[in-house]
């Protein structure tokens, strides 16, 4: 349980960090490209307003203003060309004075691609364009080379991603080192709880044994009496509760290597079915099984005797009168499936997920009549989880099914 808790702690922390950093990287990337496009669009608009130049005579700029503005160096830093189109989308004139890397044919091809986009603003490769209609039905197309601006934005994004990965690796390493310390208060508290359950059980066993012996003496002296029978019944229930609590505390511990062995789960399942079949028949119910031969599993054998006992005992207790309980064991891929189903009327499907909670009882009055404490299914879950499996329940057509999936450990 503790290693699982530590893994969950690391997983949640890493998921939170990665999610936050991913949002941050995405926001930086989108912001950079938006700012680049916005600045280039302003430059294109200025070129159109000024008849193809950046700084008409008499224009001044403020060096103290860091917002977007045209400087005396802008005409020498910017590469662009201007094309005028007729109403029939034919080229009327081309101005290539401010760009050296393109010839007329390349410009014609680029303009054709711009016309095909049917957009007023956009990108063609690393060129940003703006289309400005005129009164004669034609248009002026200004195309600006944005290679350096886009390269700068992409480099910023790359650096951000590298920093992000470095942060993720650093935090992951720190979590591996510090996670034990982070969950130590919880671990200490859990160990104290387990120790308390163990100590309390030992302290209670002695007075319970004395009470049980006293009840026997009273019965021998005064004969059978309903009050004595009631007291004996409550002592038996209390003794069973203590044993269940101790067992639950033990099943939540991590499996030790020396406790693991290879065994036949088919034999355990069949033995469990044979044990509970007379109990089911005595209660007016039937028990059928579907158990293939020679299914083996590596784990703690005693745990699986207890798992089958819990599931079948639960089915016998809560099965509808004259109902059929069905136990099946199968192998699918590398997993072993254990399934126990029985008809059970009046199940609240909303509460199904709570059936494995400790001390939860779906029907308190019925649980009291059957002697249940809400510990059995939580113990079953602890056993399955201890073997790196999962357990679930399902209710359909008046039948409730409990299914445990156990991986075959190599």
In the chain, CATH 3.30.450.30 covers 79-145
Burial grade of 219 (CB within 10 A; 0-12, 13-18, 19 or more): middle
pLDDT 10s digits, 127-152? 999 999 988 889 999 999 999 888 98
More confident residue, 100 or 375: 100
User: What percentage of the chain exceeds 70 in pLDDT?
Assistant: 83
What kind of fold does domain 260-407 have according to CATH? Heat Shock Protein 90 (3.30.565)
Per-residue pLDDT, averaged over 58-65, amounts to 60
Mean pLDDT of 239-252: 66
What CATH architecture is 79-145?
2-Layer Sandwich (3.30)
* pLDDT on residue 292: 92
The pLDDT confidence band at residue 242, using thresholds 50, 70 and 90, is: confident
Residues counted in the chain:
410
Per DSSP (E only), the strands in 272-360 are 286-290, 296-299, 324-332, 335-343
**Would you state the pLDDT for residue 365?**
47
What would the mean pLDDT of 313-321 be, rounded to a whole number? 91
Q: Report pLDDT for 368.
A: 45
352, 367 Cβ separation under 8 angstroms: no
Return the pLDDT at 258: 53
- Least confident span in 36-50, 180-194, 249-263: 249-263
Average per-residue pLDDT for the chain: 83
Query: Which pLDDT belongs to residue 67?
Result: 59
Cβ–Cβ < 8 Å for 316, 325: yes
pLDDT 10s digits, 319-360:
999 999 999 999 999 999 999 999 998 888 878 888 888 766
Distance of CA 300 to the CA centre of its chain: 28
Give how far Cα 71 sits from Cα of 32, 63, 151, Å: 21, 9, 21
What stretch of H or E contains 399?
A: strand 399-407
Q: 123: helix, coil or strand?
A: strand
Catalogue the E-assigned strands of 39-148.
80-85, 91-95, 121-124, 127-133, 139-145
Least confident of 3-7, 103-107, 284-288, 313-317: 3-7
Position 366 pLDDT exceeds 70: no
Mean pLDDT (whole number) for 178-206? 72
Does pTM top 0.85 for this prediction?
Answer: no
Residue 230's pLDDT band, with cuts at 50, 70 and 90, is confident
Specify the range with the lowest mean pLDDT, choosing from 47-61, 99-113, 162-176: 47-61
Question: What pLDDT is recorded for position 405?
Answer: 95
CATH 3.30.565.10 in the chain: give the residue spans. Answer: 260-407
Give 172-183 pLDDT, tens digit per residue.
998 888 877 777
């Amino acid at each position: 349980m503790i290693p699982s808790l530590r893994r969950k702690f690391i997983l949640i922390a890493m998921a939170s960090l990665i999610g936050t950093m991913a949002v941050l990287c995405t926001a930086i990337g989108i912001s950079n490209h938006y700012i680049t496009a916005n600045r280039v669009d302003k430059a294109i608009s200025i070129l159109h307003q000024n008849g193809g130049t950046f700084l008409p005579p008499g224009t001044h700029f403020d060096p103290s203003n860091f917002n977007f503005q045209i400087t005396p160096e802008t005409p020498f830093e910017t590469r662009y060309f201007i094309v005028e189109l007729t109403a029939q989308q034919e080229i009327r004139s081309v101005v290539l004075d401010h760009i050296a890397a393109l010839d007329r044919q390349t410009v014609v091809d680029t303009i054709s691609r711009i016309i095909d986009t049917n957009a007023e603003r956009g990108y063609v490769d690393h060129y940003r364009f703006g289309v400005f209609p005129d009164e004669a039905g034609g248009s002026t197309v200004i195309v600006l080379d944005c290679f350096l601006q886009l390269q700068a934005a992409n480099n910023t994004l790359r650096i951000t991603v590298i920093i992000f990965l470095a942060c993720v690796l650093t935090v992951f390493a720190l979590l591996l080192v510090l996670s034990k310390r982070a969950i130590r208060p919880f671990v200490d508290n859990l160990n104290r709880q387990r120790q308390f359950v163990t100590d309390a059980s030992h302290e209670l066993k002695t007075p319970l044994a004395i009470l049980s012996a006293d009840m026997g003496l009273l019965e021998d002296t005064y004969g059978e009496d309903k009050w004595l029978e009631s007291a004996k019944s409550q002592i038996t229930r209390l003794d069973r509760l203590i044993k269940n609590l101790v067992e639950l505390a033990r099943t939540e511990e991590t499996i030790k290597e020396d406790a693991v062995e290879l065994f036949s789960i088919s034999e355990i399942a069949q033995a469990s079915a044979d044990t509970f079949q007379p109990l089911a028949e005595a209660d007016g119910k039937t028990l059928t099984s579907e158990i293939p031969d020679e299914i083996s599993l590596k784990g703690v054998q005693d745990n699986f005797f207890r798992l089958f006992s819990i599931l079948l005992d639960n089915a016998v207790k809560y099965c509808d009168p004259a109902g059929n309980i069905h136990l099946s064991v199968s192998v699918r891929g590398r997993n072993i499936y254990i399934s126990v189903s029985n008809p059970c009327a009046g199940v609240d499907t909303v509460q199904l997920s709570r059936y494995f909670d400790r001390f939860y009882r779906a029907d308190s009055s019925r649980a009291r009549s059957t002697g249940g404490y809400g510990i059995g299914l939580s113990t079953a879950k602890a056993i399955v989880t201890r073997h790196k499996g999962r357990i679930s329940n399902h209710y359909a057509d008046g039948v409730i099914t409990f299914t445990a999936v156990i991986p075959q450990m190599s």
